[in-house]
A and B are shown apart, each in its own frame.
Chain A
Amino acid sequence: MDFFTHLGTYVLTIKGMFTRPENPRMYWKELMQQCVEIGVGSLPIVLIISMFLGAVMTVQTAYQLVSDLIPKTTIAVIVRDSLILELSPTVICLVLAGVAGSKIASELGNMRISEQIDALEIMGINTKSYLIAPKIMAALMMVPCLIALSIVVALWGGRITAELAGIMDTGTYDRGLLEGFKPFSITVAMSKAFTFAFIISSVSAYFGYNVKGGALEIGRSSTFAVIISCILILLADYVLTILLLNA
Chain B
Amino acid sequence: MITVSNLKKSFGDKLVLQDVSFNFLPGKCNLIIGTSGSGKTVLMKCLVGLFTPDAGEIAYNDQNILTATTEERKQLRQQVGMLFQGSALFDSMTVEENIMFPLNMFTKDSVDKKLKRVNETLERVNLKDVNKKFPSEISGGMKKRVGIARAIVLNPKYLFCDEPNSGLDPQTSMVIDKLIQDLTSEFNTTTIINTHDMNSVMEIGDNILYLHQGKKQWHGTRHDIIYSKDELLNKFIFASEFLQDAKQMRMIEAEALQESAKKT
Contact = CB atoms under 8 A, between A and B. Distances in A.
Interface of A: 22-23, 25-26, 110, 114-116, 118-119, 121-125
B68 to A, nearest CB: 12
A125 B86 CA distance: 20
A26 B100 CA distance: 12
Given A26-B105, A122-B80, A123-B77, 17 more contacts: A22-B105, A22-B106, A110-B91, A115-B84, A115-B85, A115-B86, A115-B88, A116-B90, A116-B91, A119-B82, A119-B90, A122-B49, A122-B82, A123-B78, A123-B106, A124-B78, A124-B106
B14 to A, nearest CB: 16
Contact of B88 (A23, A114, A124, A125): A114
Interface residues of B, number: 24
B77 A23 contact: no
A26 B102 CA distance: 11
**What are the 6 A-B residue pairs with the smallest beta carbon separation, nearest first?**
A124-B77, A115-B88, A119-B88, A124-B74, A115-B84, A122-B82
Nearest to A130: B105
Interface string B87-117: 0111100000000011011100000000000
A23 to B, nearest CB: 5
A121 B76 CA distance: 12
A115 B77 CA distance: 16
B31 interface: no
B47 to A, nearest CB: 10
Contacts of B90: 116, 119
Contacts of B50: 118, 121-122
B48 interface: yes
Given A116-B90, A118-B50, A125 B84 contact: no
Interface of B: 48-50, 73-78, 80, 82, 84-86, 88-91, 101-102, 104-106, 160
A84 B77 CA distance: 50
Main SS of chain B's interface residues?
mixed
A223 to B, nearest CB: 22
A118 B160 CA distance: 13
A22 B78 CA distance: 11
Given A116-B88, A119-B88, A23 B105 contact: yes
Contact of A114 (B82, B86, B106): B86
The winner among B86, B90, B105 for most chain A CB atoms within 10 A is: B105
A239 B148 CA distance: 52
Contacts of A119: 82, 84, 88, 90
Contacts of A122: 48-50, 77, 80, 82, 160
A118 B88 contact: yes
A118 B77 contact: no
B85 A125 contact: no
B86 A123 contact: no
26 contacts: A23-B104, A23-B105, A25-B104, A26-B104, A114-B86, A114-B91, A115-B84, A115-B86, A116-B89, A116-B91, A118-B84, A119-B88, A121-B77, A122-B50, A122-B80, A122-B82, A122-B160, A123-B77, A123-B78, A123-B101, A123-B105, A123-B106, A124-B73, A124-B76, A124-B77, A124-B106
The winner among A25, A118, A122 for most chain B CB atoms within 10 A is: A122
Contacts of A25: 104
Contacts of B86: 114-115
Nearest to A21: B105
A115 B84 CA distance: 7
A26 B104 CA distance: 7
A116 B105 CA distance: 15
